[in-house]
Each structure stands twice: as C-alpha cells, then as structure tokens.
Structure 1
Amino acid sequence: MVEMTLSHGLFEWSAASLSTLGSLSLWVMGDVDTAQYIGECALKMQEKIESEAGKAKTLITLYLFTLHHVKPLQCFSKPFLEGYRSGMRTGDKSAAMICLFSYVFLQYVIGKPLKMIEEQCKVSVSQMEELKEGEQALCQKISWQFYLNLMGLSNETVELRGKAMDETGVEFTTLSHAMFVLTKVNAYSLFGEYELGARMALKRADKQVLSLKGGSFRSMIFLFHRSLCLYAMVRKNRKKNEKYTAEASRIRKQLTDSLKEQNPNVLHYVSILNAEHEALEHKKNQEGDVCRLYNDAIIMSARGGYTHDAALAQE
C-alpha cells in the first residue's frame, strides 16, 4: 500500500500503511529515529486525507507501538480517544475498542486515581461485550481485576479472581495472554511476591508482544516490574541468584539505552532501577549515596506525575 501511495497518490489507507512501515522499522531494525520520522509523516498524511476510514488504525499503530519512544505518555490520551471515536464513526469497532482499552490502561500508567480508572473499566467492558469484541473485553477484565485488587476490593492480591474475572480456566489468545503476564508481574511486584515475579521474568514469556522496541507502550512498565522482582530476589540471597542478577542488569541496560535515545517515559524507571542496583553494589560507607539515588528517583517520579511509582520508590 505504501508503493501504491507513492505511485498513485493518497487514498484512505495511505497513512495507516505508512504508520505500519514505521512500526516495522522499529521492530525489525530498532531504529527509533526512522520510526519517528515515518510516524510524523503518517500523521501529516492522515490530516490531508478526507476519509477517516483508516484513521483509527493509524493512531493505534503510532501511539500504541511507536511514538512512546519519543513523546511523553501524558499527551497520548487525546489521540487514543480520537481513534476510539473515529473507529466508532466508521464502523471499525475492533480498532475503536483497542483505542479504548489503550486509553484506560494509559490512565493507570500515568498515575490517575484508581477509582476513576475502575469506573472506566466497568463501562468499557460493557461496551466491548456488547460489540462482541471478546479479546479486548478479556484484556480489560484482566486489568480491571488488578485494579480491584490494588484498591482492596477483592479477597485476592496476586490472583486475578473477583468481581471482574476469574483467571482459572480462561482460554487466552496471544494478546490477552501477554496482558495476563504483564498484569501478573505487576501484581507480584506491588504485593511483594518477588519470587513468583522473578520466576515469570526468567521465562521471558510473550517476548515479542512485550518487547521494548516493536511492542506497545505497556512494555516499559512490564520490564520495570520484572526488574524490580529480580533485584528483590538478588537482595534476598545474593550468592545463589546469578541468573536473577544477569537478567535484572540486562533489563536495566535496555531501559537505560532507551533513555539515551531520548525516550522521555523511562527516566523515572531507570532512576529507580539505578538505586536498586546501587543498593546491591554499595559498600558499608556508601549508604548515603544509595539514599540520594532513591530520593532522586522519588523526585523524578513525582515531577512526571507518576505518583504511584514515587510511592514505590519511597518503600
């Protein structure tokens, strides 16, 4: 379709196909600059196209898979809502529901109140089920139950069982299983079940879907909590956890490299992981340096609006 656009000019799917090319350049070659350039061209192209038939898919590809490497997540809410509305107007309900799910999950990542997010989950699941978008509904239920657990509105902590869903016996698709793994790792990290989280981290489950380059913006929070679980297990028994140390360091380097490539969304993650790493490496007379790193991480998280991550660093 990109060749068709180059040969014959713009048509309704030109921007969507170009945005896919940008995403592929990121996934295959890891080239952030090229992906950004192609993505920006796709956005300009979408503005010139009179039809909005492919608009929702364009916005999904760019804001879910590409632009989080160069743009702050706080500016993604509007494009996701725009994609949702465009998809509903044009009858592309699948794309609309992906945008809706991404919008709701984004609110959690950027630190919005859980009560508000939980209410959005309830409404969105109802709409997804009404439109028979079962995969997105399941993904949303996974997140919804996690939020209920965090709010203390479930008898469970790391098990996704309660008002929204019961993980027992669920038949997962590739996408919903990736969401399940991401959510479980987050739960293990936040509720202190570090050994379970570390074991799952070593499996590198759903690597392709949750990879930093080529995966969605959700991969950043997934990698962060994986690394936290691994570092916690290293602290518990330093001599017997070489695999945990190596994997935690690998993830920290991956996020650090992304920061060096000007990713604005990983600074606080890297700051917290640097403090975790230094806490393992410091000598007896260097406790002050470690405390300063944690304090810096708290400040960076709070300034970015990531209050939940600031609280996590405080612990």
Structure 2
Amino acid sequence: QMMQLTLHHGICKESCAALGYLSFLLCEFEDFKESYHTGHLAILLLEKLQSKELLPQVYLPYFTGAGSYIRGVKFTLDSLLHCYQVGMQTGDIENAMLSAYVYLSKSFIFGRSLAELRRETDSFMKQMIDYKQMVTKDLTLAIRHAILSLGDDPSLVMCQSTQQKDLLQRAIENNNVVLGSVIYFFSGIEAYIFGEYETAANIVQRRKEMEKQMSRKVIENGMTDFFDGLIFIAMAHKTNDIKWSVEASNAASKLEHYVQNGIIGSDHKLLLLQSEFEKDSADAINKYERAIALAKKNEFVHEQAVACERAADFLLRNGDARAAHYYGKAHNLYLQWGAQRKADHLIKSIPF
C-alpha cells in the first residue's frame, strides 16, 4: 500500500521505508538482484531526503535480506550496528532491538569469534529485557545457547537444557513458528557439528514442518541449505536410504541457485557438498581442498573447520594417513572460532 501511494501521489520521506519493505518482499521470493537494487534505491532516497528517523525501516529489511546476500555478511555488520544505534537515538526501540538480533545472527553465520559474540549477546539481551523487548530477547537466547554449547557449556547442547526446552515448548504452545524455526536452525547446526547426525536430521525435519506455516523458509545466507545438505549426506552414508540422498541433492541444487545469483559465501558451501557426493578419492580431495581454500578466502573460519573435518573423515574411511593433517587443521580452526567444546570433542573422538 505504501508503494501504491508513492506511485499515485509521488515521493515523500515514507517512500524510503516503502522501498525498503519492497526489497525484503522481493528477497522472500528469492529475486535477490531486484531486491538488492530496490534496497539500494531506498538508501539513496533516504540519504537525499535526510530522514534519519526512517533509517531503521530501510536498513533493517535491506541488510537482513539482499544487502547481506549480495554484498556479503561481513560488509553488512557495521550497517546493522548503525541501524541499532540510530533506532535507539530516535526512539524506534523495536527496530533497534530487532537490528541487534539480526546483527548477532549474521555474526554467527559469518563465523565471528564466539567469545566476542557471547559478550555482545549478553549485553544486548540485558537491554532487550530492560526495554521489555521479549520477542527479540527470546530469539537472541536461541543464539546464546548455540554460542555457549559450542564454546564451553556441555549442559546446553541440542535443546537439552531446561531453559532451552522451556523456550522451545513456549514457542510450540504459542504457535510461534519464527522462534521455533530459529531454535531448530541453531540446534541442528550444533547437533551436526558434534556428530549427532540422527538428532540433527530429526531437528531439521521438525524445522521444515514449522516452515510450512511461514511465508518463507529460513535461508540465512545459504547456511540453512548448507548444513541441511551435510546432515542429509551423513544420514545417507549411515542408512543407505535413498530419501536422504534426494534431500541432499535438493539442498545442493538450492546452493547452486544461490551461487548463480551471486550470494556471497555460497560457493565454498556448494563445493563442500559436492565433495561429500564424490566417490573418486582423487576428485574428492581436490574438491575438499578447493572448498577449504574458498572458505578461507571468504573468511568463514567455522565452515573452513567443517570442511577440514569432512576431508579428514573421508581420508580416514579410505585408510589415508593424510587424515591426521586435516583433523589437526580442523582442530586449530575450531579453536580460532572459539568452539572449545568442539575442539575437545574432536580430540576425544578421533585421536590424531
């Protein structure tokens, strides 16, 4: 309706917000390039009209979606922080706190230091509670559980803590599919990283059921399809059930679509899935190496660690002594990320 008013009556300062929301809507339909151009136009108009109070309504939808997809997560984090700051300055508390949550979520997706993220998460959650922004507080709590579980708290892994169970139960009882899907998203990643493939697969299936009630699925810069694909491949190897191979192929097809549309950081994800499908040892290692190198180039340290571990597992299954080298690299990269529990878990599971 805001866009219709703009088209009928001309541009006003609210047109900035209209274009911002249109950008997000286009992103929902995965028209990433048009979404990016529309959002960029919204920002140019915002700057021209100097409507500072509307900045959160432009930045938040744009940098949540196509802005981070096309420009890359790394280059949108500062913009999301700026969005939070302006929202607080202008009294737009709801959008400010939502920007803080998106900033934390994108930071996790990019693989920023878990120790830094823990400090920021605690700080933002305190503000969310002070300003009674309980929706964003609950969403942020889901991220915090993942950070602590990977870092140093064994009681929080895979929806096992009382607090996490209560949060999930509340989401289910209130039919809060957004919160529920976010909890399942982070929990599925945790379960996979710790080698609990059946648990991870169950979590993904529950998330997908919730997503049927949503206008769009959780994309998260390709990270959702990436870990879904890894989980499905692990289950295919474990069970020899064709359904998992089909699901994994579908996830790889989605990543290929993201690569073709210029989604930054999806290229190494696709290569790693392709490596996992590969039967020939020499071809597989070549693809693993390329995936590792691209993840490093893209600065996704956590996904570089996963790629190294997957390469090591492949070599170990094939009796190749080079496995120890890749396990060592994965261990160091997990430590660099701040995932102390995962690094310890790797040493206990696979002495190298």
Q: TM-score, normalised by structure 1?
A: 0.89
Three-state SS of the structure 1 residue aligned to 2:209 is coil
Correspondence for 2:188 among 185, 189, 193:
185
Partner of 1:218: 220
Give the deviation of 1:16 after TM superposition: 1.3
Q: Which amino acid aligns with 2:151?
A: M
Q: Distance in 2 between matches of 1:140 and 1:156?
A: 15
Percent identity among equivalent residues? 21
Q: Secondary structure at the match of 2:52?
A: coil
1:208, distance to aligned residue in structure 2 (A)? 6.2
SS at match of 2:272: helix
Query: Could you tell me whether the CA contact under 8 Å between 1:128 and 1:136 is conserved in 2?
Result: yes
2:203 pairs with one of 200, 205, 228:
200
Taking the aligned partners of 2:49 and 2:139, their CA distance within structure 1 comes to: 32
In 1, Cα distance between the equivalents of 2:76 and 2:203? 29
Q: Which residue of 2 aligns with 1:27?
A: 28
- Report the CA distance shift for 1:217/1:130 in structure 2 as closer, same or farther (over 3 A): farther
1:146–1:187 contact (8 Å) kept in structure 2: yes
Measure how far apart 1:147 and its partner are.
0.7
Instruction: Flag the 1:131–1:160 CA change in 2: closer, same or farther, 3 A.
Output: farther
Number of aligned residues: 302
Would you say the 8 A contact 2:145–2:156 is kept in 1? Answer: no
Consecutive unaligned residues of structure 2, counting only runs of 5 or more, are 310-352
Instruction: Tell me which of 154, 167, 178 is aligned to 2:165.
Output: 167
Change (3 A) 1:210 1:149: farther
Contact 1:158 1:188 in 2 (8 A): yes
Report deviation, 1:105.
2.0
Aligned amino acid, residue 4 of structure 2: E
**Partner residue, 2:264:** 264
1:238-296, Cα deviation, whole Å (9 max, x unpaired): 2xx22111111101101111101221221111111111121xxx1xxx21111111111
Matched with 2:326 is: none
Contact 2:73/2:110, CA 8 A, preserved across alignment: yes
What is the distance in 1 between the residues matched to 2:15 and 2:178? Answer: 26
Q: How does 1:285-304 map to 2 (within 5 A)?
A: 286-304=280-298
Question: 1:207-245 deviations in whole A, cap 9, x for unaligned?
Answer: 36988xx5666252122111111100111122xx22111
Q: What secondary structure is seen at the aligned counterpart in 1 of 2:165?
A: coil
* Long gaps (5+) in structure 1: none
Separation in structure 2 between the aligned mates of residue 160 and residue 143 of structure 1, nearest angstrom:
15
Q: Secondary structure at the match of 2:33?
A: helix
C-alpha contact (below 8 Å) 2:221/2:266 kept by paired residues: no
Aligned partner of residue 188 in structure 1, secondary structure: helix
How far apart, in 2, do the equivalents of 1:52 and 1:174 lie?
A: 32
Task: Answer whether contact 2:177 2:214 (CA < 8 A) is retained.
Answer: no
* Deviations, residues 34-64 of structure 1 (Å, cap 9, x unaligned): 2222121111111112222221021111110
SS of alignment partner, residue 166 of structure 2 = coil
Aligned to 2:192, the other structure's residue is in SS state helix
The Cα of 1:150 is off from its aligned counterpart by 0.5
Cα shift at 1:130: 0.6
Separation in structure 2 between the aligned mates of residue 208 and residue 38 of structure 1, nearest angstrom: 28
The 1-side partners of 2:177 and 2:204 are apart by 17
Distance 1:243 1:210, change over 3 A: farther
Q: Does the Cα contact within 8 Å between 2:22 and 2:38 map onto a contact in 1?
A: yes
Counterpart Cα distance in 1 of 2:114 and 2:27: 32
**1:228-267 equivalent positions in 2, closer than 5 A:** 228-238=230-240, 241-267=241-267
Equivalent in the alignment of 1:312: 306
Quote the Cα distance in structure 2 between the aligned partners of 1:16 and 1:206.
29
Which structure dedicates a bigger proportion of its chain to helix? Answer: 2
For residues 75 and 214 of structure 2, the distance between their equivalents in structure 1, rounded to whole angstroms, comes to: 22
Q: Report the CA distance between 1:22 and its aligned residue.
A: 2.4
SS in 2 for 1:263: coil
Question: TM-score when scaled to structure 2?
Answer: 0.80
Amino acid at match of 1:11: C
**Any conservation in 1 of the 2:222–2:258 contact (CA below 8 Å)?**
no
Residues 208, 227 of structure 1: alpha-carbon distance in 2 compared, 3 angstrom cutoff? same
Aligned counterparts of 2:250 and 2:58: Cα–Cα separation in 1: 32
Supply the AA of the counterpart residue of 2:284.
V
Contact 2:33 2:66 (C-alpha < 8 Å) held by counterparts? no
Aligned partners of 2:217, 2:247: CA distance in 1, in Å? 19
- For residues 248 and 217 of structure 1, what CA distance do their matches in structure 2 show? 16
